[in-house]
């Protein structure tokens, strides 16, 4: 009841608001500004920039106890938390093409309404069982630019189809990595990368781990291409370099691949079609490769954007390394997902300047013999830009599991206030 009332109040406030909005989308490649060298290293330090990407975050997750009891799977505790934090960053100006960056990453509990144990299932505070505040050096890198080539080494954010910030909570995932990016080919970017360790899902740990990357890390190649009019292509190949992690545990997936395309159709208003293809292969040769295929088509009518979506996972579980590329995955999870078929639709309404309201519905049916990913989900995502440095976002999802599924029904509410300086 409290959650419904809170959601109604916030939605009503957003509908009465105005201003310009910048929709929050998955991380995309940003064109780098031209490198301008300063006269001395001291000048490079003085001409550096400070930035703050701050958030206040309320998260609430509730499970359906009756559904849990009916399935005999045991009740999971609900989770609520209220935190604030973000990223404080300094990046120097270039000195003979070289610059460096340092960033503090933090997430801190606010007030006494919720105990730390209340945040157990929220993936917001430290995941070691203490649920302490998060505070660590999240970025510490050196970058060298020459012509159309960039080399960046150290702790950093990544932005590729399968390895990205996965920004679902207060802090994104970050990586200890080395990347080499080149744009010599017209309308094309190619990136080679090595990842040693990373912070894990949404930076919920006070440190870096290689339990997923393997003890020898992983390597990848990624590309984007826009050389054909109205067509955008992206792809990535990721190779895990060992089948065990630093703790001696098994790493199951050896290779991740992904390719997607977007083509702007020559009719209607902003009409497009998208397609995606991905695979997982395993160190265990006895396991079948998994395959993901998907499609999305959409168009606009004045203040309305509409789209239809489809995804099919075949033969085995599919997982992205650290991203949410599937069109039908509203919460951009990271799996692994069972063999299943998902269909859905979404509607985006922009009734006023500065206000965006997205409604989505998806139905996911597990293949015969699977018992996890069999559900329907309603999703709401509302955003309102208050001014040029702050905005508010409300996200709500209601996941209804079928009787076949061994998971319980649940609903999630997120309220996020963003401040960027």
CB 324 within 8 A of CB 332: yes
Determine how many CB atoms are found less than 10 A away from the CB of residue 246: 14
Q: Could you tell me how many residues make up the chain?
A: 421
Dist. CA 180–CA 189, nearest whole Å: 11
How distant, in Å, are the alpha carbons of 58, 91, 98, 238 from that of 40? 45, 16, 12, 39
CB contact set of 295 (below 8 Å; sequence gap of 6+): 273, 274, 275, 276, 309, 310, 327
* Mean pLDDT comparison of 14-18, 174-178, 333-337, 370-374, highest-scoring range: 174-178
**pLDDT beyond 50 at 8:** no
- Closest to 201 (Cα-Cα) out of 335, 79, 81, 103: 335
Tens of pLDDT along 68-112?
777 777 778 889 999 999 999 999 999 999 999 999 999 999 998
**pLDDT beyond 90 at 321:** no
Q: What is the pLDDT of residue 382?
A: 97
pTM of the shown model: 0.86
Q: What is the pLDDT of residue 205?
A: 85
CB contact set of 26 (below 8 Å; sequence gap of 6+): 164, 323, 324, 332
Q: What is the pLDDT of residue 381?
A: 96
Q: What is the pLDDT of residue 207?
A: 82
Q: What is the pLDDT of residue 336?
A: 87
CATH class of segment(s) 2-420: mainly beta
Give domain limits for the chain: 2-420
Tokens of 270: 């902003």
Tens of pLDDT along 170-207?
999 999 999 999 999 999 999 999 999 999 888 888 88
Question: Whose structure tokens read 């088509």?
Answer: 297
* pLDDT band with cut points at 50, 70 and 90 for residue 1: very low
Q: What is the pLDDT of residue 281?
A: 96
């Amino acid at each position: 009841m409290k959650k419904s009332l809170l959601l109604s109040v916030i939605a009503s406030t957003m509908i009465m608001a105005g201003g310009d909005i910048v929709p929050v989308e998955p991380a995309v490649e940003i064109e780098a500004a031209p490198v301008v060298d300063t006269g001395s290293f001291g000048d490079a330090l003085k001409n550096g920039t400070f930035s703050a990407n701050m958030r206040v975050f309320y998260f609430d997750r509730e499970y359906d106890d009756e559904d849990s009891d009916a399935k005999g799977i045991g009740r999971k505790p609900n989770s609520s938390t209220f935190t604030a934090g973000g990223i404080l960053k300094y990046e120097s100006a270039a000195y003979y093409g070289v610059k460096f960056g340092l960033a503090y990453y933090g997430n801190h509990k606010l007030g006494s309404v919720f105990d730390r144990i209340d945040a157990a299932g929220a993936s917001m505070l430290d995941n070691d069982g203490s649920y302490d505040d998060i505070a660590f050096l999240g970025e510490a890198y050196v970058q060298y630019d020459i012509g159309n080539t960039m080399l960046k080494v150290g702790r950093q954010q990544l932005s590729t189809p399968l390895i990205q910030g996965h920004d679902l909570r207060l802090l994104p995932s970050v990586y200890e990595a080395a990347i080499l990016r080149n744009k010599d080919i017209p309308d094309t970017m190619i990136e080679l990368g090595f990842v040693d360790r990373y912070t894990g899902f949404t930076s919920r740990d006070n440190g870096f781990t290689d339990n997923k990357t393997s003890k020898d890390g992983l390597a990848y190649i990624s590309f984007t291409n826009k050389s054909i009019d109205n067509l955008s292509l992206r792809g990535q190949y990721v190779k895990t370099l060992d089948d065990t992690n630093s703790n001696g545990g098994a790493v199951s997936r050896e290779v991740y691949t992904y390719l997607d395309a977007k083509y702007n159709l020559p009719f209607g208003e902003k009409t497009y079609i998208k397609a995606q293809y991905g695979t997982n292969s395993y160190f265990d040769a006895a396991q079948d490769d998994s395959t993901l295929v998907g499609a999305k088509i959409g168009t606009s009518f004045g203040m309305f954007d509409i789209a239809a979506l489809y995804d099919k996972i075949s033969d085995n579980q599919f997982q992205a390394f650290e991203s949410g590329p599937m069109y039908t995955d509203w919460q951009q999870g990271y799996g692994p997902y069972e063999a299943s078929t998902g269909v859905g639709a979404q509607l985006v309404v922009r009734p006023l300047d500065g206000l965006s309201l997205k409604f989505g519905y998806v139905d996911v049916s597990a293949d015969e013999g699977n018992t996890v990913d069999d559900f329907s989900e309603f999703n709401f995502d509302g955003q309102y830009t208050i001014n040029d440095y702050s905005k508010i976002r409300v996200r709500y999802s209601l996941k209804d599991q079928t009787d076949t599924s061994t998971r319980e029904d649940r609903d999630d509410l997120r309220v996020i206030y963003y401040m960027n300086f």
